[in-house]
Structure 1
Amino acid sequence: MKDLRNAYRRYALAFATSSAAICIGFAMQTSEAAILVEEEAEAPGSGRTPLRLPQDMNVPVLGGVSTLPIMPKERGHGASLPSRPVLVAVADDKPGGFLPAEEHTPRLGCTVSLQTETTAGALVALTALAPCHGGELALIEHAGLRFHVETPQDGSLQLMVPALSETANFSVSYPNGDGAFASADVESLPFYDRVVLQWQGARGPELHAREFGADYGELGHVWREAPRDLSALAGGTGGFLMRFEAVGMLSAAQAEVYTFPTGLANARGDIAISIETEVTQGNCGQDMALSSMTLHQGNLRAPRELRMQMPDCDAVGEFLLLKNLVEDLTIAQK
């Protein structure tokens, strides 16, 4: 019985071994046949078309430059832009509801201020603060007197201005319209006589005062090249000249003011006042407008104006004496 069971086991093992061998052999023959068919198809003259994988399905190749799969190419959606421009109709009428234009708002910290202080010689010290107008031209105006001065870069301006009225009103203004006003009481004004010359444009007109018979170039000749200063009023023997100008500004208003202490004079006689102008390359052949004012014993006389055409440039270097624009001052000893 034992021998019979061993015989059955041997038969089962032999059958299993034979079956496995048959399967392995069949698989190997199939693979070899497929390889043979592909080689024959690739061989020249075989007339057979090889079976290729779709191009979209790239298989990584070991040992090549890259084993990463290649992404498929982008394909458009088939849309195309129109070949002709598209015209859009726009209404000519403006739609309602537009917001109004924004109004100018003053910059913070840009307020202009002006202060006055009466000083000796019936002069008024002006202090203008304009922090946002540094380097700009400031226009000073007072009782018909007007002139430009250049503001320092920090916006602070300090200058002395001769008063032309006992209740003196002053203003300072800048190109954009900003400005300020201030007043000062000048009680000593009746003790001083003044002559004002003003014009607009290039340098040219000159105010000359020849005191008590002095000739040109002598000690009593007061003009821009020998203006003196406030100390000349001491003792009542002489006057001084103040000039207000913006150097290099051809369109700026300019002025010269001569002052003599008539109410304190220790001499008597006449002071010859004249206005002369030099013909220069800057004013030759051009129109010039001048005006003058005279202050006597606290009373400001009406201004005199003169408009003239300067000679041609052939006369450069010559001087013109302008008559009937000012009058001499008569001084009575006190």
Structure 2
Amino acid sequence: MNLVRKVSVVAATFLIAAATGQFMQSTFHRSQPAAAPAPVTPPLAAPAAKPAQTRPVQVASLEQPGKLPLPLASAPARDGGSIDALRSAIPAMQPLAGALPAALRGPAPPAPGATARAKPETAAKVCLPRASISVDEGAILHFRLDAPCHAAQRVVIRHGGLAFTELTDAKGMLDVKIPAMQEDARVTAMFAGNKTVSATTTVPELSLYDRVAVEWVGKDSFDLHALEFGAAFGSAGDIWAQNPGSATPNTTAVEGFMTVLGNRSVTLPMLAQVYTYPTGLSTEGGKVKLVIDAVITPETCGREMLAETLRTRRDAAPKKTDLSVAMPDCSHPDGYVQLAGLLPDIQVAGE
């Protein structure tokens, strides 16, 4: 990674809780990586000539249903007779449906082109979205969504102060992993029209972890860096979106991990990054320095960017802080505005 810093002076304005202030902050440049056609009725064939010597078929009267006499047999064809003579000897069968009682005829066949329609209550049950949740290693919530009537749609996922957007697949399914921000965890999926579905669980192991998050909306762009135990930017100890670490615990448990949430491809995307450190499992003592970079792009330069930060607390809801950054002009639409000292360090006692 190119660590050459490009220094310029920019103004950054922070809304931290209820306080507002301004300060001058240096920036540095780091490379980063149609309806179906109607059926055609075939032309009717010309009626065949009435066969000679055809015996009529007798049909039972309605007073005696079920006693239908068989048609009288015609005289057998003589040896050497023609095929036409044989056909003319077969009696013409008359349709019986009109003479049968309705109970014997059964239901009428559907009209051509007609389709079966589900009952309203059945359709509503099929369209009802369902959600389930489980807990994975690292106090991670595994949220599964089944919404067959919301296929390929934008959905907002909310949990413990976090809010981010996702996109269901072609079957209305979604499978996403979310860092737990509260022990009594509820995850809610919200569709257009304020239709929601939720799932809940308990995460007692959350007390072993410290979590910090930054979230934003639209074209704003931020990166959260966790510099573990004196690590420099770009080193192995710089945990961020491009060096996220792993949620799977190891024998020493001295490394945190970053989780990136949100789908940028939807309309009005909502995005978040969450850093986790296993303070209750670590054997190493020291501190983790937290830095937020406001990314300068052609879409973010020359205007104000807004975000929120979240910090987990063991016995209360996550603490939320508003953040506002005045971005530099667009003369150099690349690089970062470094927001150091905004978030308190994570103190790790170790063993």
Tell me the TM-score normalised to structure 1 length: 0.65
| 3-state SS of paired residue (1:217) | coil
- Are 1:238 and 2:255 an aligned pair? yes
- Provide the C-alpha distance between the structure 1 equivalents of 2:223 and 2:206, rounded to a whole number of angstroms: 24
In the superposition, relative to structure 1, how do residues 219 and 285 fare at CA in structure 2: closer, same or farther (>3 Å)? same
Partner residue in 2 for 1:196: 213
- Are 1:287 and 2:293 an aligned pair? no
1:134 to 126, 131, 151: 151
| Superposition pairs of residues 242-261 of structure 1, within 5 angstroms | 242-249=259-266, 251-261=268-278
Quote the offset at 1:203 in angstroms: 5.3
Contact 1:201–1:249, Cα closer than 8 Å, also in 2: no
Q: How many residue pairs were aligned? A: 231
In the superposition, relative to structure 1, how do residues 212 and 204 fare at CA in structure 2: closer, same or farther (>3 Å)? same
2:138 to 96, 101, 121: 121
Contact 2:182–2:318, Cα closer than 8 Å, also in 1: no
- Provide the C-alpha distance between the structure 2 equivalents of 1:134 and 1:234, rounded to a whole number of angstroms: 42
Contact 2:327–2:337, Cα closer than 8 Å, also in 1: no
- The runs of 4+ residues in structure 1 deviating greater than 3 Å are 104-108, 296-301
- Are 1:144 and 2:156 an aligned pair? no
| Superposition pairs of residues 137-176 of structure 1, within 5 angstroms | 137-176=154-193
Write out per-residue CA displacement over residues 260-292 of structure 1, whole angstroms, 9 at most, x where no aligned residue: 110000100010101002210122223321110
For the aligned residue pairs, the C-alpha RMSD in angstroms reads 2.1
- Are 1:278 and 2:278 an aligned pair? no
Contact 1:233–1:240, Cα closer than 8 Å, also in 2: no
Identify, as 1 or 2, the structure richer in helix: 1
- Provide the C-alpha distance between the structure 2 equivalents of 1:233 and 1:291, rounded to a whole number of angstroms: 31
Write out per-residue CA displacement over residues 117-148 of structure 1, whole angstroms, 9 at most, x where no aligned residue: 12211111101111111111111111111111
Q: Which has the higher contact order (CA 8 A, sep 6+)?
A: 2
Gaps in structure 1 of 5+ consecutive residues: 1-103
In the superposition, relative to structure 1, how do residues 165 and 236 fare at CA in structure 2: closer, same or farther (>3 Å)? same
Gaps in structure 2 of 5+ consecutive residues: 1-119
Write out per-residue CA displacement over residues 170-223 of structure 1, whole angstroms, 9 at most, x where no aligned residue: 100111322201111101010000001101112520000010111011111101
Contact 2:209–2:278, Cα closer than 8 Å, also in 1: yes
Structure having the higher Rg = 1
Identify, as 1 or 2, the structure richer in strand: 2
In the superposition, relative to structure 1, how do residues 327 and 213 fare at CA in structure 2: closer, same or farther (>3 Å)? same
Which 10-residue stretch deviates more, 221-230 or 292-301?
292-301
| 3-state SS of paired residue (2:280) | helix
Contact 1:197–1:257, Cα closer than 8 Å, also in 2: yes
Tell me the TM-score normalised to structure 2 length: 0.62
- Provide the C-alpha distance between the structure 1 equivalents of 2:293 and 2:148, rounded to a whole number of angstroms: 39
